[in-house]
Amino acid sequence: MRKYFFITGCCLLSSLFIHAQTTDYRVVFDVTSKDSMDHKAVIRWLNEISNPHPDARLEVVFYALSLGMITKDKSVVAPDIAKLMNNKNISFKVCAIAMQNQHVDKSQLLPGVEIVPDGIYEIISKQREGWGYIKAKL
């Protein structure tokens, strides 16, 4: 009888685990680095998640020194970002404070990049909503 309850319990737990993984895939990426290798890694991770999980909701937040990744004349991943922009579940958001500190105007941003008042607050807001968190640094 114990064996029956154990097996039933394992089946219920595994079904809940599988359900949670397939219906609630939400991740916010924290990008602060100016290193182009980190920028390429973020693009790779977005593709590695969104290809097998098209319903995954992914957000990349830029602040500190990372603005080169989303600036027209500096980004080495601009074509990749343009492709990812076609996915309604992927968003790219930049901190207005970082833009001000680095003298970046919104006209310099890649098309589709959204501006948020505070990048750190954007990240902690997502975490409060239950989003996973990844610091993008190799």
Can you tell me the distance from the alpha carbon of 109 to that of 95, in angstroms, rounded to the nearest whole number?
A: 12
In a domain, 17, yes or no: no
pLDDT digits (tens, 9 = 90+) for 5-16: 445 444 555 555
Q: Is residue 10 part of a domain?
A: no
Q: Is residue 94 part of a domain?
A: yes
In 3D space, the residue among 118, 114, 119, 38 whose CA is nearest the CA of residue 75 turns out to be 38
Domain holding 54: CATH number?
3.40.1260.10
- Amino acid sitting at position 119: G
Total count of domains within the chain? 1
| Domain assignment present for 1 | no
Find the DSSP H helices in the chain. 2-23, 36-50, 78-84, 96-101, 119-128
Is residue 4 assigned to a domain? no
Q: Is residue 126 domain-resident?
A: yes
Stated pTM of the model: 0.83
Q: What is the pLDDT of residues 49-65, one digit of tens each?
A: 999 999 999 999 999 99
Domain extent for 75: 25-135
56 assigned to some structural domain: yes
Question: Which residues lie closer than 8 Å to 124 by C-beta, 6 or more apart?
Answer: none
Q: C-alpha dihedral over 101, 103, 109, 114, to 10 degrees?
A: 40
Whether 20 maps to a domain, the answer reads: no
